[in-house]
A = this chain, B = another copy of it.
């Protein structure tokens, strides 16, 4: 479908590690409450870092890993939800803070909430079909922490910050063999940030600071998502004529402990068959899948030639699946 190979990878995490044990003390929650309920032991939260500085470092690492200079790229795709500024795009900001401001390498942003990386992979693969693009970088860099309020406990305990970058090029030995995406906006209200855009403009009279925090009706979102995920996975299994549990390895989005446990149990997935980084990173929004993929490659869980199922759900609500031979 798309002959595309990962030739470089990098990540960058904010310096500050935030332990759940410390959050429990600060908020007078019982010991181990966060780990047991939300599955997160620690996560990184920014102090001075921006989406662009994290993203530029992850990209510099990926370029070094690929043995490439930034100037050799044909395109930079920023695949994330959060951003430095409403305009210009954060892809441009990454080009600037990385010191590549005179390179001319074009930058575009692709956003499908938490599964942006998967859509960006498909876009990169498709653009390579035209032979006009040979080397494409995809960067996901998320800062959720600034949009978290302790009173929105479910979000506050769950989300982390971080960035990952991958360099891709055309190849006959690797590639995407299958993609599937579905959006059901009947679940639009279940999770998101209401204020900050034109719906509740931050310079408007009706805007309140509380509108700028992440909200999640976790149980409603999960029930809605599970209903659609059941049909979604049935279609995937039918179209591929194989069970999701037949895949060597699954690199999923890391939405929550409950939803990942549900998936493992329902589809008879062995724990060693699915990459779980929730405990150490939290849910890093659109950076979760690429950070998990990076971690899986580093730890030898995904080796050259392995076929990986990427799977995720996202605010919107959007569901996505992508089969990738690494």
Contact = CB atoms under 8 A, between A and B. Distances in A.
A129 interface: yes
Interface in A100-135: 100-113, 119, 122-123, 125-127, 129-130, 132
B127 A92 contact: no
Given A107-B318, A109-B110, A110-B109, A146 B201 contact: yes
A72 to B, nearest CB: 15
Contact of A91 (B84, B129, B183, B213): B183
B50 A198 contact: yes
A204 interface: yes
Interface residues of A, number: 83
B92 A86 contact: no
B202 A92 contact: no
Task: Give the residue among A111, A125, A149, A212 with the most B Cβ atoms within 10 A.
Answer: A111
Interface of A: 1-2, 46, 50-51, 75-76, 81-93, 95-96, 100-113, 119, 122-123, 125-127, 129-130, 132, 143, 146-147, 149, 179, 181-186, 188, 191-204, 207, 209-210, 212-214, 314-318, 320
